[in-house]
Amino acid sequence: MIQIIKGDITQIKADAIVNAANNSLMGGGGVDGAIHKAGGPAILEDCKKILARQGGCRTGEAVITTAGNLPAGYVIHTVGPVWNGGKNGEPELLYHCYQNALKLARDHQCKTIAFPNISTGVYRFPKPLAAETAHRSIRDFLESSEHRISEVIIVCFDDENYQINREIV
């Protein structure tokens, strides 16, 4: 089941919440900044270990850390594509972000997972295409994979994403 809500993902008590990170995993602005700020230094400590082990996170891929002080169980960090006109595989990379985050959630026995609208802030991905891609990826995963995920929450921070996402479900 896909649920659309408007709010701040740092407040969501899901088994996992997803962060729209960057390749360095060292934090940033937007939802990334909000998650590190609310979750505390334990999240960055885990990210540093991943950076040392595998040099960060590639665009379209995902890694998992503690959620520190957040009410969620884990934070899954994925790196969305920077929008550059759409001819550089941006939709496919965004599709992979959702797939790879969901695979990690499944592998950690999560039942509930919350996503922000990945790439639609600083990375400038057009919101309608991002929403369509996100919903398609989530639906494909829920239908095709063996998993215990019963609820996927899309947490929209801005009104525009909220309206667009509500129209798709």
Residues that bind ligand AR6 (CB under 6 A): 8-10, 20-22, 28-32, 34, 80, 116-123, 155, 157-158, 161
Which residue, 95 or 123, has its beta carbon nearer to ligand AR6? Answer: 123
**For residue 113, how far is the Cα from the chain centroid?**
9
Indicate which residue of 15, 32, 107, 159 is catalytic: 32
Q: Closest Cα to residue 83, out of 117, 46, 57?
A: 117
Q: Closest Cα to residue 106, out of 153, 68, 61, 142?
A: 142
| 16: β partners | 74, 113
Least distance from C-beta 123 to ligand AR6, angstroms? 4
Pairwise CA distance, residues 105 & 28, whole Å? 23
Give, for 100, the enclosing helix (H) or strand (E).
Answer: helix 90-107
Least distance from C-beta 73 to ligand AR6, angstroms? 17
Which residue, 79 or 105, has its beta carbon nearer to ligand AR6? Answer: 79
Which residue, 20 or 76, has its beta carbon nearer to ligand AR6? Answer: 20
Least distance from C-beta 47 to ligand AR6, angstroms? 11
Which residue, 65 or 117, has its beta carbon nearer to ligand AR6? Answer: 117
**For residue 109, how far is the Cα from the chain centroid?**
17
Say if CB 15 and CB 163 are below 8 A apart. Answer: no
Least distance from C-beta 135 to ligand AR6, angstroms? 15
- Please confirm, yes or no, whether 32 is among the known catalytic residues: yes
How many Cα neighbours within 13 Å face the side chain of 98?
Answer: 28
Residues annotated catalytic, as ranges: 32
